[in-house]
Each structure stands twice: as C-alpha cells, then as structure tokens.
C-alpha cells in the first residue's frame, strides 16, 4: 500500500516538476518572441526648457522599489502585408508604490503635430513612421516621456477573450455596422450577455452605424475601458496554470514590447492581486471639427492647450515627475553652498 502511495506521489511530483520546467521554458521563450526594442527618439523638452525627467528606463538600485514608468499601449489593426494602423492609443502610467495604473485614451482622430510631418491625425503617425514616430508624437503632445511601448493586435484580443470563455457586458443599444471593404460585420443586440472574442472586439470598436446615428469617439473609448475592466476581472478570477500557458502562446504570436524581462517580473510580483478598481481612467475633453486637409476636408478631434495641461499634471503626479524635479532643484540649490 505504501509502495503504491509513493508511486502516486512520485508521479504527481514529476508532473508538477514538468509543469514548472515547461512553464519556465514557455516564459523565457515568450520574452524572446515579444521583445522588440525601438531606436531612442530622444528626450522631449519640459515646460522648464530642460530635457524631461526619465522614469522607468533609468537604472536603479536593486534593493529600491521600482520607479514609476509610462507605457504607450497601441491596439493595432494589422492585415496581411498592409501597414499596421493604430486603432486604439492609450498612454498609461504604472506606479509600483501606489499599485495604481492610470490610463489615458487618446482619440485616434485627435489633431496633433507629428514631427517632420506637421498637423495631422494622431493615428496617421504609425503609417508615416511606425512605433518611433507614434512615440515622439505622443511625447510632444503630452510633454511627458514615453518609457516603453506595447502593441497588441485584434487577433490577440479575440483569442484572449475566447480563452476566458467570454466576458459579461451589458450592451446598451442595438449595434449594426457592415463594411464589406474591410470585412467588418458588427451585429449586437441590447442586454446583459456574455460576448465571445469576436463580439467583444466589435463592441469595443463600434462607432459607425447603419441603423442610427454614429457614436462619438468618447462613447467608443468608454466601451473600450469597460471591456478592459471586464477582461482584467475575469482573468483575476479564472487564471489557472493552463490558462496562463494559453495566454503565453497568444502573447508570443501577437504582442510586441520593449519592456525588459526584469520589469515584467517586477510587475507580475507587484500587481499579482490587481483588479479593475486599481485603474484610474482619464479622458481628454475636446470638440469635433471639420478642417482643411490638403485638397480635402477631414474630421478632427481638437483639444485645447488648457485641457492638455490639466491631463499633463495628473500624469506627472502619477509618475512622480514633480517630486523628481523638486528633488533635483533641491540638490542643485544645496550644491551652491
């Protein structure tokens, strides 16, 4: 009897050990698949005229707590050999000391100045110059450094939601939109329901309508935030080792980032109990305008300087940039004595 029990225990131990080894292999293999650093676009100029304070990229003492840093999150629509389009643009801050994450959605039609291109829609930056140009455009717009980027394509989102067996969403109205030119076919009915990956993506992307008035960018951004929260909470409550392995495969196929492995490990430790309640969500108030664009006129979302300054101050507080500036000023003052 004891011999049989030992055999069972040994088998279970081997299975667990194999799972751990396989998990470690999957994790390290994942990092090499998703890691894709981009050339440095240089420091932006702060309001004081000096180069802006760097955040999470800086080397720090291993015994100290990780510093806050910013991540540019891009939801991209990549189809076959076409140039990827940035359908979703989110500037996020990660603050390990407060365990908070702040998300600022930037409407894709926002009027900005794209370096060396002039005034244009922000989502055109990725077409003109890829991730580096999007990064420098956002830095110039917000006057805050972008420490890292992460891109995720639509297929990844669909697969993640399907792996979670869908997410529960209360669809507020009938949503119908067909565009045969790109294969879009959104068909959602109102009511509380579990959406699979395809329908969850349709819900997050919906703006144009074939059966009623179009939605605003703000309405779509609100739905995107709702979906993000639902995915976070569903993941927290249903994560198993096997689900995690599936996520690893999905991320390896559809995500690119320049976040280092050490930072990923730090974030996993710090945010292991993270929930949607730890999210701070910001939005940019502006107005819709039709403006000249070459020989044509296009719809733009126009945000005034006062609104950008308001959001800039919130983001700097989240990144503790004001604290760093004050510390530097004190050090400079002390060095004069």
pLDDT in tens, 54-91: 344 444 445 566 789 999 999 887 655 555 667 789 99
Residue 320 resides in a domain: yes
Q: What percent of the chain has a predicted confidence (pLDDT) above 70?
A: 76
Q: Please choose, from the candidates 175, 150, 154, 41, the residue with its C-alpha nearest in 3D space to the C-alpha of residue 90.
A: 150
Sign of the alpha-carbon dihedral angle for 134, 136, 139, 141: negative
Work out the pLDDT band at 279, boundaries 50, 70, 90. confident
Question: To the nearest whole number, what is the mean pLDDT of the chain?
Answer: 79
pLDDT in tens, 125-140: 999 999 999 999 999 9
Name the β-bridge partners of 287. 302
**Quick one: average pLDDT of 201-209?**
89
Q: What is the pLDDT of residue 19?
A: 53
Residue 319 resides in a domain: yes
Residue 206 resides in a domain: no
The CATH number assigned to the domain holding 333 equals: 3.30.420.590
pLDDT in tens, 283-330: 899 999 999 988 889 989 999 999 999 999 999 999 998 655 444 444
Residue 250 resides in a domain: no
CA 291, CA 297: separation in Å to the nearest integer? Answer: 5
Q: What is the pLDDT of residue 12?
A: 55
Q: What is the pLDDT of residue 118?
A: 94
Q: What is the pLDDT of residue 262?
A: 81
Q: What percent of the chain has a predicted confidence (pLDDT) above 90?
A: 40
Residues ≥6 apart with Cβ < 8 Å to 241: 19, 23
Least confident range of 24-38, 62-76, 195-209, 228-242:
24-38
**pLDDT for 212 beyond 50:** yes
pLDDT in tens, 2-34: 555 555 555 555 555 555 555 565 667 777 888
Residue 123 resides in a domain: yes
Residue 291 resides in a domain: yes
CA 274, CA 237: separation in Å to the nearest integer? Answer: 11
**Quick one: average pLDDT of 196-207?**
92
Residue 182 resides in a domain: no
Q: How many domains does the chain have?
A: 1
Structural domain boundaries enclosing 102? 44-147+272-337
Residue 164 resides in a domain: no
């Amino acid at each position: 009897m004891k011999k049989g029990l030992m055999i069972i225990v040994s088998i279970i131990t081997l299975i667990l050990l194999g799972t751990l080894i396989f998990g470690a292999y999957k994790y390290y293999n994942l990092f090499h698949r998703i890691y894709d650093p981009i050339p440095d676009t240089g420091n932006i100029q702060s309001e004081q005229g000096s180069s802006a304070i760097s955040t999470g990229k800086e080397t720090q003492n291993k015994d100290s707590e990780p510093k806050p840093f910013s991540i540019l999150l891009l939801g991209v629509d990549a189809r076959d050999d076409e140039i990827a389009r940035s359908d979703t643009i989110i500037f996020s801050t990660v603050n390990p000391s407060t365990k908070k994450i702040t998300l600022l959605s930037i409407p894709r039609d926002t009027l900005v100045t794209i370096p060396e291109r002039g005034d244009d829609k922000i989502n055109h930056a990725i077409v003109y110059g890829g991730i580096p140009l999007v990064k420098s455009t956002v830095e110039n717009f917000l006057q805050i450094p972008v420490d890292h980027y992460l891109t995720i394509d639509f297929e990844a989102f669909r697969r993640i939601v399907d792996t979670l067996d869908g997410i529960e969403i209360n669809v507020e109205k009938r949503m119908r939109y067909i565009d045969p030119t790109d294969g879009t076919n959104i068909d959602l009915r109102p009511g509380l329901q579990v959406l699979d990956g395809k329908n969850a993506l349709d819900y997050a992307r919906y703006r144009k309508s074939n059966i009623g008035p179009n939605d605003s960018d703000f309405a779509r951004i609100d739905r995107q935030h709702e979906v993000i929260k639902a995915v976070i909470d569903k993941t927290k409550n249903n994560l198993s080792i096997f689900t995690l392995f599936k996520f690893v495969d999905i991320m390896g196929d559809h995500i690119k980032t320049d976040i280092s492995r050490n930072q990923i490990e730090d974030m996993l430790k710090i945010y292991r109990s993270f929930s949607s309640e730890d999210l701070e969500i910001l939005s940019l108030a502006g107005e819709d305008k039709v403006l000249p664009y070459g020989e044509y006129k296009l719809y733009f979302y126009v945000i005034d300087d006062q609104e950008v300054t308001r959001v800039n101050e919130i983001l700097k507080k989240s990144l503790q940039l004001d604290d760093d500036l004050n510390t530097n000023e004190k050090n400079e003052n002390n060095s004069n004595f």
